[in-house]
Amino acid sequence: MSAPSKEKLSRNRDYRLLWSGQVVSEAGFSTATIAFPLLVLAITGSAAQSGLVLGAIAIAQLVAGLPAGALVDRWSRKRIMLGCEAVQALGAASLVLALWWGVAGLAQLVVVAVLMGLCRALFEPAEEASLPRLVSTEQVPSAVALNAARTSAGQLSGTALGGFLFALGRFVPFVFDVVAHVVAFVSLVFVRLPARPEPAAERPPAHLGREIAEGLRWVWQQPRVRVTAVCAIVLNLFFAAYYLVIIVLANERGVPAGEIGVMAAMLGAGGIAGALAAPYLHRRISPYALIIGVFWGLTVLTPLAVFVHDGYLMGLLFAAMAFLAPAANTTINTYQLLYTPDELRGRLGGVMGVTGGLAAALGPALGGWLVDLLPDSAAVLSCAGAIAVVTVLTTFSRTLRGFPAVADLEEETHNTKES
């Protein structure tokens, strides 16, 4: 079995191929996601049906998340990733042809959206589980952070590009999506992913439900994995609620729509900058101090929105908050990936994807409820207070205080396997 390269990550040919292909794939996916509601509105004139198509992507990804994680641990991960890129390219191509012939309908749009969600549910845990076999242990934090930056960059570029391409023609965004997934497929073909350990590769398939339960049980029984997962999920839930509250508050204060758009863009830009800085911070600050520092930073920054009435200043505040989060996420994800046995990494990704997706879906609903129930400032402070509670609980967590550095993980993981 070939070992992951120990050269600089920037010189790791296989990781470069995977990363560059997925930058394009992410942009294509985001472009199609923006174009979908515009296309449904153009065809049906119904905002509700627009929401149905977009919702189909998220629902399919959530429903398939746990089974997908188990299948990632059972099947060849490279073949899964190749298959997902191929299916997404074919789905987008079918829309291009239907639009060209004037026969595109709501049913086809829903089917393609479901396929996109299913492919995301499979691809994300497959790629994440493959990272420790593609790069050395020391490179995992940088790879995790660069993947986060890649996702944010793809979303920003795709969001900006989707509306522009749709204005050129209804089918144009989906042509771009086809090309993006073809490029990603070709890049993946040339990625040399080392073989998995023989016991995992030769293990006979069990009942899918038992495999899912095994993954859930493992995640829950590992204190550090469980605690970091719960903290991240709760924090994401309340931050998603906070984001919606701030957008509504800005609108009610008369902030122009253009400034609100800049606010959202600055949030994405802050996330990219934070992801690029995360490996540097991860190397120089202990895991516990880094996680707690990020949480306390968010606790201090979130209430300031009560006093900020300018859209651009609010954008700077958003950028500062988004800059902090990737450092904690890099530390948490690195630990979870390296500590989890290879044969369970897909299921770990499936569990985290589903719980994170639920938090992302429920957060805006909670934010909307708070806006309807409370005055503006009280809604902001409620979200900030919830984040502060999570921060305090995390600060006094004995489990997190013993969080190991990456250098200590290999020995700890070896001892866990021996026992």
State how far the Cα of 93 lies from the Cα of 178, in Å rounded to an integer. 6
* Residue 202 pLDDT: 44
Asked whether residue 26 is assigned to any structural domain, the reply reads yes
Please indicate, yes or no, whether residues 181 and 227 belong to a single structural domain of this protein. Answer: no
* Residue 408 pLDDT: 61
Give the count of beta carbons closer than 10 Å to the beta carbon of residue 339.
17
Asked whether residue 120 is assigned to any structural domain, the reply reads yes
Residues across the chain: 419
Q: Which helix (H) or strand (E) holds 334?
A: helix 311-339
Asked whether residue 188 is assigned to any structural domain, the reply reads yes
Please indicate, yes or no, whether residues 180 and 219 belong to a single structural domain of this protein. Answer: no
- Check if the beta carbon of residue 333 is closer than 8 Å to that of residue 144: yes
Measure Cα distances from 124 to 105, 177, 202, 224, 285 in Å.
29, 18, 23, 22, 28
The domain of 336 spans: 213-418
- Pair of tokens at residue 138: 């020391």
Determine the angle formed by the axes of helices 287-301 and 311-339, rounding to 10 degrees: 160
- Our count of domains for the chain comes to 2
Show which of 203, 227, 254 is a domain's final residue. Answer: 203
* Residue 97 pLDDT: 95
Please indicate, yes or no, whether residues 217 and 362 belong to a single structural domain of this protein. Answer: yes
State how far the Cα of 229 lies from the Cα of 363, in Å rounded to an integer. 16
Please indicate, yes or no, whether residues 246 and 273 belong to a single structural domain of this protein. Answer: yes
Please indicate, yes or no, whether residues 13 and 138 belong to a single structural domain of this protein. Answer: yes
State how far the Cα of 346 lies from the Cα of 360, in Å rounded to an integer. 21
Asked whether residue 39 is assigned to any structural domain, the reply reads yes
Task: Tell me the pTM.
Answer: 0.87
Please indicate, yes or no, whether residues 231 and 154 belong to a single structural domain of this protein. Answer: no
Asked whether residue 208 is assigned to any structural domain, the reply reads no
Give the count of beta carbons closer than 10 Å to the beta carbon of residue 345.
28
State how far the Cα of 24 lies from the Cα of 182, in Å rounded to an integer. 10
Please indicate, yes or no, whether residues 160 and 291 belong to a single structural domain of this protein. Answer: no
- Check if the beta carbon of residue 249 is closer than 8 Å to that of residue 376: yes
Percentages helix, strand, coil for the chain (3-state, rounded to 5) are: 85, 0, 15
Q: DSSP readout, 258-301? A: HHHHHHHHHHHHHHHHHHHHHHHHHHHS-HHHHHHHHHHHHHHH
Please indicate, yes or no, whether residues 183 and 267 belong to a single structural domain of this protein. Answer: no
Asked whether residue 34 is assigned to any structural domain, the reply reads yes
Please indicate, yes or no, whether residues 187 and 336 belong to a single structural domain of this protein. Answer: no
Instruction: Tell me the CATH number at 146.
Output: 1.20.1250.20
- What is the torsion angle, in degrees rounded to the nearest 10, for the CA atoms of residue 16, residue 200, residue 3 and residue 141? 50
Q: Collect all residues with Cβ–Cβ distance below 8 Å to 200 and sequence separation of at least 6.
A: 73, 342, 343
Please indicate, yes or no, whether residues 89 and 187 belong to a single structural domain of this protein. Answer: yes
Asked whether residue 87 is assigned to any structural domain, the reply reads yes
- What is the torsion angle, in degrees rounded to the nearest 10, for the CA atoms of residue 162, residue 168, residue 174 and residue 176? -80
State how far the Cα of 151 lies from the Cα of 325, in Å rounded to an integer. 14
> Which residue matches tokens 């500062």?
320
Please indicate, yes or no, whether residues 313 and 408 belong to a single structural domain of this protein. Answer: yes
* Residue 299 pLDDT: 92
* Residue 186 pLDDT: 97
Measure Cα distances from 174 to 32, 163, 215, 330, 348 in Å.
6, 12, 36, 32, 32
- Pair of tokens at residue 296: 């306390």
Please indicate, yes or no, whether residues 279 and 150 belong to a single structural domain of this protein. Answer: no
Asked whether residue 383 is assigned to any structural domain, the reply reads yes
Give the count of beta carbons closer than 10 Å to the beta carbon of residue 189.
12
Longest dimension (CA), the chain: 63
Per-residue pLDDT of the chain (419 residues; tens, 9 = 90+): 445 545 678 788 999 999 999 999 999 998 888 888 888 888 888 777 777 787 888 889 999 999 999 999 999 999 999 999 999 999 999 999 999 998 888 889 999 999 999 999 999 999 999 999 999 888 898 899 999 888 888 777 777 788 888 888 889 999 999 999 999 999 999 999 887 765 454 455 568 889 999 999 998 998 888 888 887 788 778 878 888 888 888 877 787 877 777 787 788 888 889 988 988 888 888 888 888 998 899 999 999 988 888 888 888 988 898 888 888 888 888 888 888 999 999 999 999 989 888 887 788 888 888 888 888 788 889 988 988 998 998 899 888 887 776 656 655 554 544 44
- Pair of tokens at residue 80: 């899964």
* Residue 418 pLDDT: 47
